[in-house]
Chains A and B, each alone.
Chain A
Amino acid sequence: MIYTARGDEADPRLGSDVMSQLPFRAQVASALGRTAATLSRMTGRGDGSVIGGRVGLVLEPDLLRKLAQDRKLVLVSATNGKTTTTRLITSALLELGEVATNAFGANMPAGHVSALSQAKRAPYGVLEVDEKYLPDVLDTTGASVLCLMNLSRDQMDRAAEIWLLAQKWRRAVAGKPVHVVANCDDPLVTWAASTAGQVIWVAAGQRWKEDSWCCPECGGPLDRKDSDWACRECTFRRPQPHWVLDHDMAIDPRGQRWRLDIQLPGQANRANAVMALAVVEIFGVPVQRALPKLAEVRSVAGRYTTVERDGRHARLLLAKNPAGWLEAFDVTDPALPIILAVNAQGPDGRDTSWLWDVDYRILRGRPVFVTGERKLDLALRLDTAGVPFQLAGDFTEALAAQPPGRVDVIANYTAFQHIRTEFGRAE
């Protein structure tokens, strides 16, 4: 079974294996954390994963280190795709045994504590890690594998600046005995990973290029030809990939081609899948065993799920930043109407300026409905792009305005969670 940070199986006993090796204070802290998580769920405050971990961390700062000991851990970080990739890696690693994972995106240390203490016997752990926390979490857990996928502009009033982030990653992996699996089509990620002793390079593609026209090493221009890139002014260039994503085929380090027959849609998810294949091969799961497990994943924390009301079937896509919107457009069906929902609460970033980095002209010709707390920002943006649209008071109203049948929905973080809550958080 999958043990998750959600803690549906929360077990009040302080039991065997990993837990029994913890000092008494850590055991109590961990058990209290789980109780808090259960309470949080019972009172309807959420998945319970973060609140449980926070209680645990207050009581025992070393808890994460102790919970991580003697496990084989993978840390997954990126601007986009980390929740999905965490899920894909977990799915394949289950071939080997139990896996602890923060499957619900609680990606800071509190969430990691919560995830690991829910799965006391699991010899494996796959943790999604917030980009800013990666150096600390790597230090604390001593994880054996890092999976680094992409870095692009995110909500600037809360996220760190990406050149600075890449530099921190670079320092964090330098000289560490960690296996890094990194996307060499992203120059910033490549720069960050290249100080590590062992790197498996994956040519996983890069759709959003607006944040990597300059060399992170010297600031010179990067020349690009197809997927290759090289600095015009210094020696920094794309390394030779071990794994390659070629449309819907993964090419492994031995040159063998594998069709990525997965249910998750779009090129971004095929990129996530090839990263996952490279990670699990390090643990000894061969492609032929891993691929069928990746194919079983249909939706991740509500992403790509379809919700239904009165004959309207809405497929939910989450997009939190310009690169994410580009990926979402790749997945949408141009023949369908589309609902766009944008909020600007804390987790979304309160500055909506990023809407102007997204090229919406691809939506011309489709019926477009605009909703969310910041629908007027989006309205002006679409008007400027020459994309006709209709305003809707909320998501329910936008859905009711559709003819029966299918519709695509792209929403940013809290707008997406709002829709999920309204439809019962169905997976």
Chain B
Amino acid sequence: MQNDPRRTESALRIVWIYPDLLSTYGDQGNVLVLEQRALRRGIPVETVHVRSADPVPETGDIYLIGGGEDRPQILGAERLRRDGGLHRAVARGATVLAVCAGYQILGTTFGGEEGQPVPGIELLDIASGRGKARAVGELAAEVAPELGGLPTLTGFENHMGVTWLGSAVRPLSRTIVGTGNGDGTEGCYSGRVVGTYLHGPALARNPALADLLLSWATGPLAPLDDTWYDRLRQERLAAVLPAQ
């Protein structure tokens, strides 16, 4: 664990939860994008990688949880529940981005190796199970307007999950192309806790979503030169959406 007790109070504290269990599909990319977008605006950053044998600090600003295979997902959920650090952080108003297996963990239940229900950690009012077919491919979706007019969401999904949204969460987006939650929506949010099935990584494909999470932690942000982000977004969206 790279937990530095001498951290400066002013630094943005990013906590990557369980990279030893829940890190596949380039999940590190979401950490790197947040770091870079803060640093380019002159905001100092401290990133803490919390291994699964270590306690989750509750004083972070933004928490990231990634994807994983069935067994690591079950182990990760058990440890997060036992640890309680993430729950305390959310109660303090921390921001969370959870992706794929990590997204499912935040709900009340998800499907295990044989499809058996496994208890989640109940930070989001969702329940997930196993779908019939694997959803693999590019996804495009319109972001919920309440989140402030974010541009079209783009990413790559690769999962067997189906997720039902309860009344205490709102869909993150409505799909144009792709499967997402399985009901025409993709991901969800509640307060500052956001879940999504999207890889790509999600924040590399969607810098506006990265900035939304950053702004929840730091307040309003100056614009950046997003040339490379924009070129990649245009290419990916053009590959799946009909010509405008």
Partner of B204, one of A219, A221, A356: A356
Cβ–Cβ contact B228 & A380, under 8 A: yes
Stretch at the interface among A81-89, A158-166, A265-273, A409-417: A158-166
In the complex, chain A residues whose CB is within 8 Å of the CB of B21: 214, 219
Cβ–Cβ contact B32 & A161, under 8 A: no
Stretch at the interface among A67-75, A100-108, A247-255, A347-355: A347-355
Cβ–Cβ contact B229 & A380, under 8 A: yes
A363 at the interface (CB under 8 A from B): no
Chain A CB within 10 Å, residue with most, of B33, B69, B72, B200: B69
In the complex, chain A residues whose CB is within 8 Å of the CB of B229: 380
Interchain CA distance A157-B156 in the complex, whole Å: 10
A377 at the interface (CB under 8 A from B): yes
Cβ–Cβ contact B70 & A351, under 8 A: no
CB closest residue in chain B, given A210: B23
Cβ–Cβ contact A164 & B32, under 8 A: no
Interchain CA distance A221-B71 in the complex, whole Å: 14
Contact A351-B156, Cβ < 8 Å, known A157-B136, A163-B69, A356-B201: yes
Give 1 or 0 for each of A271-303: 1 = CB within 8 Å of chain B CB. 000000000000000000000000000000000
Partner of A350, one of B36, B51, B156: B156
CB closest residue in chain B, given A158: B136
In the complex, chain B residues whose CB is within 8 Å of the CB of A379: 228, 231-232
Interchain CA distance A86-B124 in the complex, whole Å: 49
Interchain CA distance A326-B75 in the complex, whole Å: 28
Interchain CA distance A352-B29 in the complex, whole Å: 11
Give 1 or 0 for each of B71-92: 1 = CB within 8 Å of chain A CB. 1100100000000000000000
A241 at the interface (CB under 8 A from B): no
B25 at the interface (CB under 8 A from A): yes
Within 8 A of A (CB), among B49-80: 51-53, 69-72, 75
A383 at the interface (CB under 8 A from B): yes
Contact A351-B158, Cβ < 8 Å, known A357-B28, A380-B204, A384-B32: yes
B235 at the interface (CB under 8 A from A): yes
Partner of B36, one of A156, A354, A355, A384: A384
Within 8 A of A (CB), among B230-244: 231-232, 235
B199 at the interface (CB under 8 A from A): yes
Cβ–Cβ contact A219 & B75, under 8 A: yes
A335 at the interface (CB under 8 A from B): no
Cβ–Cβ contact B199 & A353, under 8 A: yes
B137 at the interface (CB under 8 A from A): yes
A312 at the interface (CB under 8 A from B): no
Within 8 A of B (CB), among A376-394: 376-377, 379-381, 383-385
Cβ–Cβ contact A221 & B24, under 8 A: no
Min CB–CB distance B236 → chain A (angstroms): 8
Interchain CA distance A350-B29 in the complex, whole Å: 17
Cβ–Cβ contact B36 & A163, under 8 A: no
Contact A153-B24, Cβ < 8 Å, known A353-B201, A379-B232: yes
B26 at the interface (CB under 8 A from A): yes
Cβ–Cβ contact A376 & B70, under 8 A: no
Chain B: residues with CB nearer than 8 A to chain A?
Answer: 19-21, 23-29, 32-33, 36, 51-53, 69-72, 75, 136-137, 156, 158, 199-201, 204, 228-229, 231-232, 235
List 5 other contacts, CB 8 Å, given A156-B25, A352-B156, A380-B229: A214-B21, A350-B137, A352-B26, A379-B232, A384-B36
- The 21 sampled A-B contact pairs (Cβ below 8 Å) are A157-B136, A163-B70, A163-B71, A210-B23, A214-B21, A219-B52, A221-B51, A221-B53, A351-B156, A351-B199, A353-B26, A353-B27, A354-B25, A356-B26, A356-B27, A356-B29, A377-B232, A381-B204, A384-B29, A384-B204, A385-B32
